[in-house]
Structure 1
């Protein structure tokens, strides 16, 4: 049975609800996703477009002749991917969900552009942002709180 989950952009302007039947997600490494996100890969959750309800319709960027991407023009958050025609499904970015930690990567796509050095980062030094004093001071000076984890 599907579970309804919420999500949205960084500023809260664009929100969605999605019916999630499985928490299987994937990483896309294709150059189109790398360029669109400015990152080495995108974590996506694939689902039928009819299982997504937008509280406020996102803006759509035609990222190629065959695809478009929902995003928030207010804060720039990348929200997903869909083919312009011929598909009943779409992808939502895992991190745009309110509870992204519930999703698990089960596959890689676009591996011809994969940057393998970024796959296994186990053993690299780690720093918690909530324990980084200078960052906490900046949030306090701004009169704001950091985003919840």
Structure 2
């Protein structure tokens, strides 16, 4: 039996990081209105893992009880949505986009489709362009040179220390 490579991820600022050792399951896009609100987006991609295989490796999320049985974890510092936890359950769901390697897990289903926005199918036919951010005074170069986003891998310390 081969060992599953651990998955790592975390929030945008790096204050909260996690690791998943073991199998993950039910990678899906949830279109329900509650997930739309929690993510500030049209849907929320989630992946499940057994709580015994999931650990917070830096910091801890803050929690919002979005309903009696469910709490949602997020980074208090930067606001990144990180987790969906059913109280008393033995599994936790974490946000797909918070993975360091987003492409490592492929969604298999869409759930909560009754809440899917009517224009969802048309999103893939929209005009495409590269990010140039000419709307910002320094453009994309200014964004790149002042980026405060945590890198897509574990670090010993964060935030980065200036020498």
TM-score (norm 1): 0.84
Does residue 1:79 correspond to 2:78, yes or no? no
CA contact (8 A) 2:134 2:140 kept: no
Show structure 1 runs of 5+ residues with no match.
none
Consecutive unaligned residues of structure 2, counting only runs of 5 or more, are 153-163
Give the CA RMSD over aligned residues: 2.5
1:105 aligned partner: 107
Partner secondary structure for residue 27 of structure 2: strand
Could you say which residue in structure 1 is the equivalent of 2:63? 60
Which residue number in structure 1 is paired with residue 138 of structure 2? 137
Answer yes or no: is 1:69 the counterpart of 2:72. Answer: yes
User: Which of residues 91, 94, 118 in structure 2 aligns to 1:92?
Assistant: 94
In 1, the alpha carbon distance for the partners of 2:46 and 2:94 equals 6
- Once residues 104 and 136 of structure 1 are traced to their aligned partners in structure 2, the CA distance between those partners, rounded to angstroms, is 37
Q: Secondary structure, in 3 states, of the residue corresponding to 1:122? A: helix
CA contact (8 A) 1:2 1:22 kept: no
CA distance in 1, matches of 2:123, 2:34: 23
- Whether the 8 Å contact between 1:34 and 1:40 is mirrored in structure 2 is yes
Tell me what 2:125 maps to. Answer: 123
1:1-20 matched pairs, under 5 angstroms: 1-20=3-22
- Does the residue aligned with 2:127 lie in a helix, a strand or coil? coil
